[in-house]
C-alpha cells in the first residue's frame, strides 16, 4: 500500500490576498472562510486534492486549445516582435 | 400534475419506437420537464410530459407526429435541453421527442466539404471525429460540450467564434424536418442538399431555423466543413474605464482582420463578480474597470499578421495586455465560466448556491453603454427586494457573422437561489425579464441574440418587436400545424387558433 498520512496532507494556514479571498498555495485562491458559514460550509481539502484539482484544470485547458487548433500563438512574443520592429527614437 | 396518456396511446408509441425507447416513469419524465433557464421549481409538476420517446429514425418521428395529430396530443422536441428560453419545456404535458439517440455521422463528403449528421450529435463529439480528417465544424456556443445540432437549429444559435466562421444559420447548409403533420421534407438554399446559395423558391432554411420546435422536428442536417485551424490567438486587455474599453471593442471589431473570430467586452460588474473566486481576476487591481478579450483562428501565418494588428489596436486604445497565461487560459475556459453556483452571494456577502441565468439580447453597438446602465438598475431593484438574486455582471460579444461591428450579443448574468422560488418572487422575476426585453427594444435591439424569446415575461413583447411579422408567424403556424400540436403555448402562437 502507498504511504498516506493525513497529517502530512494538511494545507498551510490561509493568507488573505484580496477582499473575500484567501490563498494557501501560490496562485490557488479560496473564498474567505468567514463567508462560508451560513448557507454553504467550506470543506477541508488535503494537499493532494488541491494539487489534483489544479493539475486537472491545466490539463483541461491544454485539451481545449488542442481541440480547436494545432498551435497557440503567444501575444507576449508578438509584442516583443512589435517592439523590436519600432524604429529607434 | 403529470397527465397520463391512455394505455392505447402508449401502446401505439411503443409499436412505433420499440419498447426500450418509450418512457412514462417519474425519473424519465420529471427530468425532461425543465431546462437551465429560471424554472419555477415550486410548480415543477405543471411541466412534466406524459411520455418520453427516443426515436432512432425520421420515419419513427414522422409516425409519432402523425399519431399525435390523430389524438391531438402535444409534441415537444428536445435535444441537449440546454436552451435558455424554455423551448424544450413541455407547457401542456404531452410527448417529449428526445432526439439524443439520432446522433450518428451519416455521411462525410470530402469533395463538397459537408458532413451529414443526426440531430442528436454534439459538436464536441463531432469535432473529435472530424479532426482525423483535418476539418472542424466551428459552431462554438458556450454550451459546446452539451448542446446538440437539433437544438442549435431549433434556436438558431450564436457561436463564440461566429465573427470568423458564422453562426448556426451560416453553418447548417440544409436539413430534413418532419413537419407538424408528419410529412418529411428537406429545406436548404433551394433543393440541393449541399448547395450554399440558391435563388430558387422561398428561403425555407431560415423559416425552419430558430422556431423553437413549433414548426417541426429536424431529423438530419448537412453541415459545413471548415479546414481545422493551424493556429489560435487570444488576447485580453485591461482598461481603467468602461467607456475606453467600449471604444476599443469597436476599434477591434471594425479592424477588418479576416481571422478575427470574436471580441468580448466585460463590464465592471462582471469583473467584480470574477474577483470573488476566479484565479485570473483576483490578482487584478481594483482600478481595472473593463476587460476585452479577442480571439482569432486560421492559417498560422495569417493569424500571426492579424494578431499583431489586434495587439497594436489594443495598445493604442490604452489597453494593458494581461499576459499569455490569462489570455490563453481564460479563452480556453470560455465554456466553463457558467456552471459556478458557489459564486452566489447574499446581500451580507455569504456564499449561497445560486444558479446562473443569462439574459441575452442583440443590441446596437452605440447603445451598449446605456443598456448596461438600465439593465443593472433592473437587477439591483430585484436584489434589493429579494435576497435571492445576485447581479453577476455583463458581457457584450460581437454578434454579426463575418462583419462583426454592428450589434452585440449583450448578456447580463443573474445568479438565482432557485430553492427560494415562490409565487411572489417568480412574479417579480418575470416582471424583471419583461423589463430587460423592453429596454432592448427601446434601444433598437432585439429581445434575444441566441436563446430565443418565448419565455414568460419576454414573450409578451415579441408582437411589439416583430410588428406585422408576428401576424405572418401566426399565419404560417396555423397553416403548417392545423391542430396546434407542435410545442403548443410557445411564442403566444395559440393566438393564431383563437383568432381563427
Ligand atoms: C452554459 C450554457 C451556455 C450557453 N451558451 C450559449 C451560446 O454561447 N450560444 C448560444 O446560442 N446558446 C447558448 N446557450 C443556450 C443553448 O445552449 C442553445 O440555445 C442551444 O442551441 C440549445 O441546444 P440544445 O441541444 O440544448 O437544445 P434544447 O434546449 O433541447 O432545445 C432548444 C429548442 O430547440 C427545439 N429543438 C430541439 N431539438 C429539435 C429538433 N430536432 N428539431 C426542431 N426543434 C428542436 C426545442 O423544442 C427547443 O425549443 C447556452 C446554454 C448554457 C446552459
Residue A4 falls within a domain, yes or no? no
Q: Please determine, for residue B206, whether its predicted confidence score (pLDDT) is greater than 80.
A: yes
Residue B313: count of CB within 10 angstroms of its CB: 20
Cα angle: B480, vertex B481, B484; to 5 degrees:
160
CA separation for the pair B414, B429 (Å, rounded): 11
Q: Please state which of the ranges B333-347, B351-365, B485-499 shows the lowest mean pLDDT.
A: B333-347
Mean pLDDT to the nearest integer, B61-79: 98
Q: Please determine, for residue B338, whether its predicted confidence score (pLDDT) is greater than 90.
A: no
Q: Please determine, for residue B373, whether its predicted confidence score (pLDDT) is greater than 70.
A: yes
Amino acid A4: pLDDT? 67
Q: How far is A3 from chain B (nearest CA, A)?
A: 32
- ipTM for the predicted complex: 0.93
Domain boundaries, chain B: 7-98, 105-227, 231-459, 467-499
CA separation for the pair B11, B25 (Å, rounded): 15
* Chain A residue whose CA is closest to B294: A75
Residue A23 falls within a domain, yes or no? yes
Interface test with B, best of A20, A41, A68 (most B CBs within 10 A): A68
Residue B26: count of CB within 10 angstroms of its CB: 10
Amino acid B426: pLDDT? 96
What dihedral do alpha carbons A48, A51, A53, A58 form, nearest 10°? Answer: -150
Residue B84: exposed, middle, or buried by beta-carbon count in 10 A (0-12, 13-18, 19+)?
Answer: buried
Q: Please state which of the ranges B213-227, B279-293, B306-320 shows the lowest mean pLDDT.
A: B279-293
* Chain A residue whose CA is closest to B137: A68
Amino acid B277: pLDDT? 79
Q: Taking CB atoms and an 8 Å cut-off, how many pairs form between chains A and B?
A: 112
Percentage, residues of chain B above pLDDT 70: 98
* Chain B residue whose CA is closest to A34: B350
Amino acid B340: pLDDT? 67
A55 Cα–ligand 1 center, Å: 31
Mean pLDDT to the nearest integer, B48-77: 98
Mean pLDDT to the nearest integer, B64-77: 98
Q: Closest ligand 1 atom, CA of B152?
A: 21
Amino acid B3: pLDDT? 74
Total domains in chain A come to 1
B309 Cα–ligand 1 center, Å: 35
Average pLDDT for chain B: 96
Q: H or E element: which one contains B78?
A: strand B75-78
Amino acid A3: pLDDT? 62
Q: Please state which of the ranges B241-245, B352-356, B466-470 shows the lowest mean pLDDT.
A: B352-356
Q: Decide if A35 and B351 are in contact by the 8 Å CB cutoff.
A: yes
Q: Decide if A73 and B231 are in contact by the 8 Å CB cutoff.
A: yes
CA separation for the pair B179, B216 (Å, rounded): 4
B146 Cα–ligand 1 center, Å: 9
Helix (H, G, I), strand (E, B) or coil at B173: strand
- Tens of pLDDT, residue by residue over B395-405, are 999 999 999 99
Long-range pairs for B14-19: beta carbons < 8 A, 24 or more residues apart? B16/B53, B16/B55, B16/B60, B16/B63, B16/B64, B16/B67, B17/B53, B17/B54, B17/B55, B17/B56, B17/B60, B17/B64, B18/B56
Q: Please determine, for residue B342, whether its predicted confidence score (pLDDT) is greater than 70.
A: no
Range of the domain at A26: 13-66
Residue A25 falls within a domain, yes or no? yes
Mean pLDDT to the nearest integer, B452-471: 97
Q: Decide if A76 and B307 are in contact by the 8 Å CB cutoff.
A: no
β strands within B137-204, DSSP E? 172-178, 184-188
**Taking the mean position of all CA atoms in its chain, how far away is CA A83?**
30
CATH number of the domain at B231-459, out of 3.30.70.100, 3.40.462.40, 1.10.10.10, 3.40.50.880?
Answer: 3.40.462.40
Packed helices B242-253 and B368-385: angle between N→C axes, nearest 10 degrees: 130
- Tens of pLDDT, residue by residue over B379-394, are 999 999 999 999 999 9
CA separation for the pair B260, B402 (Å, rounded): 9
B472: CB partners within 8 A, 6+ apart: none
Residue A43 falls within a domain, yes or no? yes
CA separation for the pair B173, B169 (Å, rounded): 8
Residue A75 falls within a domain, yes or no? no
Say yes or no: B294 contacts chain A, CB-CB below 8 A: no
- Work out the pLDDT band at B22, boundaries 50, 70, 90: very high
CA separation for the pair B398, B163 (Å, rounded): 7
- Tens of pLDDT, residue by residue over B134-182, are 999 999 999 999 999 999 999 999 999 999 999 999 999 999 999 999 9
Considering only CB atoms, A70 lies closest to which of B231, B307, B346, namely B231
Helices vs strands, H then E, count in chain B: 17, 18
For domain B7-98, give the fold: 3.30.43
Specify the CATH architecture of the domain B105-227.
2-Layer Sandwich (3.30)
Q: One fold for both B7-98 and B105-227?
A: no
Listed residue (B293, B295, B312) closest to B239, CA to CA: B293
What dihedral do alpha carbons B251, B256, B260, B264 form, nearest 10°? Answer: 20
pLDDT per residue rounded down to tens, chain A (89 residues)? 556 677 778 888 999 998 899 999 888 898 999 999 999 998 888 889 889 999 999 999 999 999 999 999 999 999 999 999 987 76
Mean pLDDT to the nearest integer, B413-434: 96
Q: Please determine, for residue B1, whether its predicted confidence score (pLDDT) is greater than 60.
A: no
Say yes or no: A45 contacts chain B, CB-CB below 8 A: no
Amino acid B341: pLDDT? 63
CA separation for the pair B5, B473 (Å, rounded): 30
Amino acid at each position: 500500500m502507498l504511504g498516506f498520512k493525513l497529517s502530512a496532507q494538511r494545507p498551510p494556514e490561509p493568507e488573505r490576498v484580496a477582499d473575500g479571498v484567501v490563498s494557501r498555495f501560490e496562485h490557488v485562491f479560496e473564498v474567505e472562510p468567514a463567508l462560508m458559514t451560513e448557507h454553504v460550509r467550506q470543506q477541508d481539502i488535503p494537499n493532494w486534492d488541491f494539487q489534483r484539482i489544479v493539475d486537472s484544470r491545466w490539463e483541461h485547458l491544454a485539451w481545449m486549445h488542442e481541440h480547436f487548433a494545432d498551435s497557440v500563438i503567444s501575444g507576449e512574443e508578438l509584442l516583443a516582435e512589435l517592439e523590436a520592429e519600432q524604429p529607434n527614437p | 400534475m403529470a397527465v397520463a396518456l391512455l394505455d392505447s396511446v402508449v401502446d401505439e408509441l411503443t409499436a412505433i419506437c420499440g419498447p426500450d425507447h418509450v418512457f412514462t416513469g417519474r425519473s424519465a419524465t420529471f427530468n425532461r420537464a425543465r431546462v437551465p433557464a429560471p424554472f419555477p421549481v415550486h410548480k415543477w409538476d405543471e411541466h412534466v410530459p406524459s411520455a418520453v420517446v427516443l426515436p432512432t429514425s425520421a420515419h419513427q418521428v414522422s409516425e409519432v407526429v402523425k399519431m399525435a395529430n390523430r389524438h391531438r396530443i402535444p409534441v415537444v422536441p428536445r435535444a441537449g435541453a440546454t436552451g435558455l428560453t424554455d423551448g424544450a419545456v413541455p407547457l401542456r404535458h404531452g410527448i417529449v421527442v428526445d432526439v439524443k439517440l439520432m446522433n450518428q455521422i451519416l455521411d462525410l463528403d470530402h469533395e463538397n466539404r459537408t458532413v451529414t449528421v443526426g440531430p442528436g450529435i454534439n459538436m464536441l463529439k463531432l469535432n473529435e471525429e472530424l479532426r482525423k480528417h483535418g476539418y472542424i465544424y466551428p459552431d462554438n456556443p458556450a454550451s459546446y460540450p452539451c448542446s446538440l445540432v437539433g437544438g442549435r437549429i431549433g434556436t438558431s444559435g450564436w457561436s463564440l467564434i461566429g465573427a470568423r466562421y458564422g453562426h448556426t444559420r451560416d453553418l447548417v447548409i440544409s436539413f430534413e424536418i418532419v413537419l407538424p403533420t408528419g410529412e418529411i421534407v428537406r429545406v436548404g438554399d433551394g433543393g440541393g442538399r449541399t448547395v450554399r446559395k440558391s435563388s430558387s423558391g422561398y428561403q425555407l432554411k431560415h423559416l425552419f431555423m430558430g422556431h423553437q420546435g413549433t414548426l417541426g422536428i429536424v431529423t438530419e442536417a448537412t453541415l459545413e466543413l471548415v479546414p481545422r485551424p493551424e493556429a489560435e490567438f487570444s488576447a485580453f486587455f485591461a482598461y481603467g474605464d468602461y467607456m475606453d474599453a467600449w471604444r476599443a471593442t469597436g476599434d477591434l471589431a471594425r479592424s477588418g482582420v479576416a481571422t478575427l473570430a470574436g471580441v468580448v467586452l466585460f463590464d465592471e460588474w462582471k469583473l467584480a463578480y470574477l474577483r470573488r473566486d476566479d484565479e485570473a481576476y483576483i490578482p487584478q487591481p481594483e482600478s481595472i474597470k473593463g476587460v476585452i478579450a479577442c480571439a482569432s483562428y486560421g492559417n498560422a501565418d495569417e493569424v500571426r499578421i492579424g494578431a499583431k494588428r489586434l495587439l497594436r489596436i489594443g495598445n493604442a486604445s490604452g489597453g494593458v495586455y494581461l499576459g499569455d497565461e490569462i489570455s490563453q487560459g481564460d479563452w480556453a475556459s470560455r465554456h466553463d465560466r457558467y456552471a459556478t453556483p458557489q459564486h452566489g452571494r447574499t446581500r451580507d456577502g455569504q456564499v449561497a448556491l445560486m444558479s446562473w441565468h443569462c439574459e441575452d439580447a442583440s443590441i446596437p453597438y452605440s447603445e451598449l453603454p446605456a443598456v448596461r446602465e438600465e439593465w443593472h438598475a433592473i437587477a439591483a431593484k430585484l436584489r434589493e427586494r429579494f435576497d435571492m438574486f445576485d447581479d453577476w455582471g455583463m458581457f457584450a460579444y460581437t454578434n454579426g457573422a463575418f462583419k462583426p461591428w454592428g450589434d452585440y450579443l449583450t448578456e447580463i448574468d443573474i445568479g438565482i437561489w432557485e430553492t427560494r422560488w415562490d409565487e411572489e418572487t417568480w412574479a417579480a422575476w418575470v416582471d424583471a425579464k419583461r423589463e430587460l426585453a423592453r429596454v432592448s427594444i427601446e434601444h433598437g435591439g432585439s429581445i434575444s441574440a441566441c436563446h430565443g424569446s418565448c419565455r414568460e415575461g419576454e414573450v409578451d413583447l415579441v408582437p411589439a418587436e416583430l410588428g406585422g411579422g408576428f401576424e405572418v408567424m401566426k399565419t404560417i403556424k396555423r397553416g403548417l400545424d392545423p391542430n396546434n400540436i407542435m410545442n403548443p403555448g410557445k411564442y403566444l402562437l395559440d393566438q393564431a387558433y383563437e383568432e381563427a
